[in-house]
């Protein structure tokens, strides 16, 4: 009989939006911490652009990390089709590893939408597309991942929603963005309630802060509220925006320690002090 306690822990991560600034930072952090966590890490990189995913994969692979690519994943495509490809790759990895197993889903997919519009200016078509990418895809992938993970012998099952302060704090011109972020948070709170008696399962909504990335540039140059433009432009000018590597490191520490309350919404400024 094989003594599984003597085998290394295999930790499979699925990271969507892996070629974005935050996604890449998360992948780098996960890969770099494989040795200190005493885990063999397997990172499934999910995105649309295969060459870009190959670049992220090459930068992350090391002795303690193996990477896998699921490309051509267009979030506007039917959610069932896209999520099937992702879960199939996770299943393939889980099938060939031996020993203790952990499974983690980190969903970074999402887009801002048209921040120049107020709610009364939305069309039915743009609402449908937005909800499809930012909630239907997330909800479907979470459901499929959780169903698969529970059927395994995984000792830890974690689902991470990249959230936002705007999920809990309403802001003008962010109607679709805030609403779907709030819905994603609520879905994971419900997952936590439904699995309160299963110590293997935890869900986390993590708000990474105002990132110094292309999305932040879009906010401060297109949002319809002049006051918000001024606030974000000031943060940029004073170098007070959050670096992706910084927030990825804080989030990954939460995941490594695994002491957070399941279903929690944790903001970066719950962990560190905001800039003065």
Sign of CA dihedral 21, 24, 28, 29: positive
Give the orientation angle of helix 50-60 with respect to helix 21-32, to 10 degrees: 30
Burial of 235 (0-12, 13-18, 19+ CB in 10 A): middle
* Neighbouring C-alpha atoms within 13 Å toward the C-beta of 159: 26
Mean pLDDT of the chain: 93
pLDDT digits (tens, 9 = 90+) for 109-149: 888 999 999 999 999 999 999 999 999 999 999 999 999 99
Spatial distance between the Cα atoms of 21 and 42, rounded to a whole number of angstroms = 20
Tokens of 67: 């990477």
- The count of other CB atoms within 10 Å of the CB of residue 193 is 11
Q: What HEC string does the chain produce?
A: CCCHHHCCEEEEEEEECCCCHHHHHHHHHHHHCCCCCCEEEEEEEECCCHHHHHHHHHHHCECCEEEEEECCCCCCCCHHHHHHHHHHHHHHHHHHCCCCEEEEEEECCCCCCCCCCCHHHCCHHHHHHHHHHHHHHHHHHHHHHHHHHHCCCCCEEEEEEECCHHHCCCCCCCHHHHHHHHHHHHHHHHHHHHCCCCCCEEEEEEECCCECCHHHHHHHHHCCCHHHHHHHHHHHHCCCCECHHHHHHHHHHHHHHCCCCCCEEEEHHHHCCCCC
Q: Which domains does the chain have, with CATH numbers?
A: 9-211+243-268 (3.40.50.720)
Closest alpha carbon to 41 in 8, 11, 9, 67: 11
- The count of other CB atoms within 10 Å of the CB of residue 271 is 14
- pLDDT value of residue 2: 42
- pLDDT value of residue 8: 83
Spatial distance between the Cα atoms of 251 and 243, rounded to a whole number of angstroms = 13
Contact in structure between 105 and 157 (CB atoms under 8 Å): no
Spatial distance between the Cα atoms of 85 and 90, rounded to a whole number of angstroms = 9
Q: pTM of whole model > 0.85?
A: yes
Per residue of the chain (276 residues), what is the pLDDT tens digit? 344 455 689 999 999 999 999 999 999 999 999 888 889 999 999 999 999 999 999 999 898 999 999 998 877 778 888 899 999 999 999 999 988 999 999 999 888 999 999 999 999 999 999 999 999 999 999 999 999 999 999 999 999 999 999 999 999 999 999 999 999 999 999 999 999 999 999 999 999 999 998 888 899 899 998 988 898 899 899 999 999 999 999 999 999 999 999 999 999 999 999 988
Q: What are phi and psi of 238, to 5 degrees?
A: -95, 10
């Amino acid at each position: 009989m094989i003594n599984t306690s003597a085998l290394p822990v295999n930790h499979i991560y699925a990271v969507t939006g892996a070629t974005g600034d935050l996604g890449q930072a998360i992948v780098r952090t996960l890969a770099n911490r494989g040795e200190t966590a005493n885990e063999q890490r397997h990172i499934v990189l999910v995105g649309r652009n295969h060459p870009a995913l190959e670049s992220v994969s090459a930068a992350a692979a090391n002795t303690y990390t193996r990477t896998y690519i699921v490309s051509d994943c267009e979030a506007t495509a039917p959610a069932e089709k896209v999520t099937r490809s992702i879960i199939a790759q996770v299943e393939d990895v889980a099938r060939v590893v031996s020993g203790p197993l952990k499974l983690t889903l980190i969903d970074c997919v999402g887009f801002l939408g048209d921040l120049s519009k107020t709610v009364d200016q939305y069309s039915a078509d743009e609402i449908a597309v937005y909800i499809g990418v930012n909630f239907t895809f997330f909800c479907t992938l979470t459901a499929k991942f959780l169903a698969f993970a529970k059927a395994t012998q995984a000792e830890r099952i974690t689902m991470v929603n990249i959230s936002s302060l705007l999920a809990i704090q309403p802001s003008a011109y962010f109607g679709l963005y805030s609403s779907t972020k709030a819905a994603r948070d609520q879905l994971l709170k419900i997952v936590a309630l439904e699995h309160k008696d299963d110590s293997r399962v935890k869900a986390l909504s993590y708000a990474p802060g105002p990132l110094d990335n292309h999305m932040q540039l879009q906010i401060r140059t297109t949002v319809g509220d002049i006051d918000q433009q001024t606030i974000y432009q000031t943060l940029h000018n004073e170098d007070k925006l959050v670096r992706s590597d910084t927030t990825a490191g804080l989030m990954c520490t939460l995941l490594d320690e695994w002491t957070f309350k399941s279903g929690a919404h944790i903001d970066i400024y719950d962990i560190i002090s905001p800039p003065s």
